[in-house]
Amino acid sequence: MIFPKLKGVKMIKKYILFIIMLLLPGLFSCQGGPSQESSGLFIVMQNNKYGYIDQKGNIVISPQFDGAWRFSDGLGMVKIGNKWGYVNTKGKLVINPQFTEAESFYEGLARVNIENRCGFIDKTGKIVINPSFDQAERFYEGLAKVEVGSKYGYIDKKGKLVINPQFDEAEGFTDGLARVSLGDKWGYIDKQGKYVWGPTN
């Protein structure tokens, strides 16, 4: 029998909660949420505040934040009030909470929203790519997908459009290629924006 016999509503609720707790680590890992990274730190919650522990369960960064995200590129994204900033592995704020939306660092840069526009900061908090895009995603292999006027293209780490916005959908680069679509037809482009396959449906 796959499921045990459970008597009473309370027992059923406890069993469901147990199953959810087992599944949560995998879900977070797939979605880029709290999971182990090279820092060896794990997110915990205590008294509705978030902090980090090491692999032995020792508190490394005391629970003090209103939100937290995994470490990436040596920095962890944390929330104070309704603003996001970044801490180092010692728990020191290296970029003060100031962003209503942000992402973890990848390839040395992090996407942030400023006045409903997307740009990128470096690990000192300096804006290195001005917030001029409708949407943007993390860098993959030196290029980031951006949205301009409901079309997608790609920028380099200087913010230069190297592949003009022209696609209806687009994905990040992997092994030198990115999957893109025009209407319901999909294909693959290289880093110069040239098709190596398609688009086809």
CATH number of 143-201: 2.40.10
Neighbours of 101 (CB within 10 A): 12
Q: What's the predicted TM-score (pTM) here? A: 0.77
Fold entry, domain 66-133: Thrombin, subunit H (2.40.10)
Neighbours of 97 (CB within 10 A): 21
**Residuewise pLDDT in 10s, the chain (201 residues):** 443 444 554 444 444 433 433 343 333 332 333 333 457 999 999 999 999 999 999 999 999 999 999 999 999 999 999 999 999 999 999 999 999 999 999 999 999 999 999 999 999 999 999 999 999 999 999 999 999 999 999 999 999 999 999 999 999 999 999 999 999 999 999 999 999 998 887
User: Dihedral sign, CA of 78, 89, 117, 139?
Assistant: negative
34: preceding bond cis by omega (within 30 degrees): no
pLDDT at 201: 78
Domains 66-133 and 143-201 share a fold: yes
pLDDT at 144: 98
**Where are the domains positioned within the chain?**
66-133, 143-201
Do 119 and 112 form a contact (C-beta atoms < 8 A)? yes
